[in-house]
Structure 1
Amino acid sequence: MTQTAPDKKTSKAALTQKQFVAWLKQSIGKKYDFDLYYGFQCYDYANAGWSQLFPSNTLKGMYAKNIHTDNKAMLSTRAKVYKNTPDFLAKPGDMVIFPGTYGEGAGHVAWVIAATLSQITVVEQNWLGGGWTYGAEQGGSGWETATQRVHSYDPNMVFIRPNFASNKVSATLRKTKAKVTKPKTKWNWKGRFTTNSVIKVRRSPGLKGSVVDKGSWLLKGQYIDFVQIEKKDGYWWAKFKYPTNPSAGYFYCALCEITDKKERIKHEKEMYGKIKWK
């Protein structure tokens, strides 16, 4: 798993600790399918909370137990990571990572809303395995919602404490500044993209964009003429119309994962095909 490069400066969250804990409490009873796969997993809820703190940032990785290692570079400027010790006291707003059983399994992740030295009160999803119980891998569902629950500390737990905004006023100012200095993410660049593998097609850019029928995905060796590129959710996306059915409107496909440190698409080396710029 490619780690995101750390920022040069420490990043503060968009919310204060109090604001974030309020969000966690209001999320109880709701369901979160952040990546739109396998229903309502614990990792989905972790990312749902993280996106409230850092709206343009996403936790990446396969297993909850590895969140702190898979995202080590990114977390280095946005949070502090603590290993559990006998005298460690969790704080509201901490993310807690549960280890896999006997070193195996995917582990678990939750958000702390209260704690003592002997136990933590968390909000979590899929603790009972009811996050995905029916339906397809994409679009499937389950009965389990985000639930408040009490756990004892585990010696191998890891806690991630976000760099919360210092207070409500500064958080509001930071949000305002972010809107004014929001970095550019779209370019009206045109070109022809020829695939070297099967690529999903979505109705909007980003990992949350709904995926079209599998029969309309791009196959190896096919091409599309794109009119715009956009970076979102750690990937470059192309906006295009199907050559055989332009009246259907615009669609999007991923061109590659963003790995260049300066996020320059023309310097990416692991494209999902070839681009001929116009």
Structure 2
Amino acid sequence: MKTQDEAIKYLNSLVGKGWDWDGYYGWQCFDLANFYWYYVTGRTLAGMGAADIPYQNNFTGYATLYKNTPSFLALPGDLVVFPNTYGGGWGHVAVVKSATLNQITVVEQNWLGYGAVKKEVATVRTHSYDTGMHFIRPHYAKSTSVVKKVTSVVKPKTTVTKKKFVLVAGHGYNDPGAVGNGTNERDFIRKNIIDNVAKYLRSAGHTVTLYDKKQDMYQDTAYGYNRGDTKNYGLYWVKNKLKPDAVIEFHLDSAGASASGGHVIKNAYAADSIDKGIQKALEDTVGTIRGITTRNDLLNVNVAYNQNINYRLVELGFITSKKDMDYIKKNLQAFTKRIAEGIHGKPIGGTPAGKSKKIRWDWKGRFTPNTKIKVRKSPGLKGVIVDKGSWLKDKSDWVDFVSVTKKDGYWWIKFKYPTNPKAGYFYCAVCKITDKNEKIKNEKYWGKIKWK
């Protein structure tokens, strides 16, 4: 497989010449397509006529076949197959050179019918989309760079490389997005999500820019796209002005009340560590409704593919799901921290968000005090203290404990009074935490412990 840059360079080299792949009927449209396809993929196209291409070829694993839709955006390098209403029933095939949402500019042969007599070379021409069209997009090779041989081995650093992220809140202007559970998608994400995710990413050392909350990146991108301005608006502006390592756009989904969970949306490029990290963060929190999904009918997804921007759209959950929205609202900081950790690639601050640090262990033993110790109804210094008559006083007041808790700088045991087990469980501290590794068996207790 060739890279997309190599494919476009080769496509441009075909213009102005006549191409005959099979030695029959002169310079047909199918001949040009086969020269291009073989160069890019190492494979040939089957079919009696161009209209057969979508149906008589198996593109699994090396290309993706798309049916044209009103929102479909063709990309440079795509094969475009015209239906059998063209070419006297044979159809037509060309290669996309550039495209907008309204028309495609292609390199093609035999559009005027003079290819059979070799009087019509490969030509650049613009067409409108047709409802019967199919588009075939190669899975290009990734661009590679030559690395000079080094004479010494450098031990790789274990730290995560600091990156430049752009976070985008979906919708905007006069588009509030989906509505449910007393809020709308546009306002909820702007108020609750992107600032918090940015906060945690910045705490991990990354540079984070928020796309202007007063704007709508989709509408901005569409404006630039339709003007042919690939520098100054929306996602184009993000690429050329901010030059980020990755762009993450946040949304909330909408469906019936029972639909629940989030997922990550990507273009045809393979999912990377950021996509997988965010997807895992959703699995660990609000849950997922499906896996990482490839889409070709979203403008920003397609523009990002065409511009080689590391981009994904994240559906955080369903705004129409009370379950999803209650979870996000009640766990906002833990939720947004976990999303940031998915982007970052590892826990931020040492402990994964949403997962409390372990403080309790089911270790059993017998504790015999050698001094007076307060007894509480729960572990910790805020636990309610029982009456003095029930405190532990000396070695005659031994207790069997069933667990150990680390809290407020002390080790606490959980026990029942051997003389009154029906009273339930109580707690007392057995020592301060002084060991540098915080291991209870290395501490000096206010008495003796016989571990079981």
Q: TM-score, normalised by structure 2?
A: 0.31
- Structure 1 residues 102 and 38: CA distance shift in structure 2, 3 A: closer
**Residue aligning to 1:107:** 91
Offset from partner CA, 1:105-160 (integer Å, 9 cap, x none): 00000000100000000000110111112xxxxxxxx1100000000000110000
Pair 1:44 & 2:31 matched: yes
Computing the radius of gyration over CA atoms, which structure comes out larger, 1 or 2?
A: 2
Q: Which aligned pairs between 1:213-224 and structure 2 lie closer than 5 A?
A: none
Task: Name 2:48's counterpart in structure 1.
Answer: 62
Superposition deviation, residue 100 in structure 1: 1.4
Q: Distance in 2 between matches of 1:59 and 1:45?
A: 11
Change over 3 Å in CA distance of 1:103–1:32 after alignment to 2: closer
What's 1:196 paired with? none
- Of residues 4, 8, 13, the one that matches 1:26 is 13
Give the whole-Å Cα distance in 1 for the aligned partners of 2:55 and 2:83. 12
Distance 1:58 1:87, change over 3 A: same
The residue that corresponds to 2:322 in the other structure is none
Q: 1:165 to 1:102 in 2, by over 3 A?
A: closer
The superposition leaves residues 178-221 of structure 1 with CA deviations (integer Å, 9 ceiling, x where unpaired) of xxxxxxxxxxxxxxxxxxxxxxxxxxxxxxxxxxxxxxxxxxxx
Equivalence for 1:147: 123
Please name the residue that 1:161 is paired with.
137
* Alpha-carbon spacing, 1:167–1:99, altered in 2? closer, same or farther (3 Å): same
1:86 to 2:70 alignment: yes
% identity of equivalent residues:
52
Distance 1:52 1:102 in 2: 26
Query: Which structure is richer in relative contact order (CA contacts within 8 A, separation 6 or more)?
Result: 1
List structure 1 runs of 4+ shifted beyond 4 angstroms. Answer: none
Alpha carbons of 1:69 and 1:129: their partners in 2 closer, same or farther (altered >3 Å)? same
Q: 1:83 and 1:17 mapped to 2: Cα distance? A: 21
In the TM superposition, 1:1-278 aligns within 5 A as: 13=1, 15-55=2-42, 57-71=43-57, 73=58, 75-101=59-85, 105-133=89-117, 142-169=118-145
Unaligned runs of 5+ in 2: 147-452
Distance 1:66 1:169, change over 3 A: farther
Using the alignment, how far apart are the partners of 1:86 and 1:99 within structure 2? 16
DSSP-derived class of the 1:18 partner: helix
Q: Give the partner amino acid of 1:128.
A: L
> Secondary structure of 1:93's match?
coil
Tell me, what secondary structure is at the counterpart of 1:112?
strand
* Equivalences, count: 146
For structure 1, which segment, 112-121 or 93-102, has the greater mean C-alpha deviation from structure 2 after superposition? Answer: 93-102
Query: d(CA) in 2 for partners of 1:67 and 1:101?
Result: 15
Q: What is the letter of the counterpart of residue 48 of structure 2?
A: M
Structure 1 counterpart of 2:89, which letter?
Answer: G
Which letter does structure 2 place at the counterpart of 1:101?
Answer: T
Measure how far apart 1:168 and its partner are.
3.9
Contact 2:27 2:120 in 1 (8 A): yes
**Residue type of the alignment partner of 1:20:** A
What is the SS of the residue equivalent to 1:161? strand
Task: Quote the offset at 1:103 in angstroms.
Answer: 10
Letter matched to residue 165 of structure 1: A
Instruction: State the alpha-carbon separation in 2 of the partners of residues 50 and 158 from structure 1.
Output: 15
Task: Answer yes or no: is the 8 Å Cα contact 2:65–2:136 preserved in 1.
Answer: yes
CA RMSD of aligned residues (A): 1.7
Query: Gaps (5+ residues) in structure 1?
Result: 1-12, 134-141, 171-278
Structure with the higher helix share, 1 or 2: 2
Instruction: Give TM-score scaled by structure 1 length.
Output: 0.51
Contact residue 11 and residue 36 of structure 2 kept, 8 A:
yes
1:102 CA displacement: 7.9
Query: What letter is aligned with 2:62?
Result: R
> How far does the alpha carbon of each residue in 1:38-66 deviate from its partner, in whole angstroms, 9 at most, with x for none?
111000011000110123x2111101011
Cα 1:42–1:104 change in 2 (3 A) is closer
Q: Specify whether residues 168 and 113 from structure 1 end up closer, same or farther in structure 2 by C-alpha distance, changes over 3 A only.
A: farther
SS at match of 1:68: coil
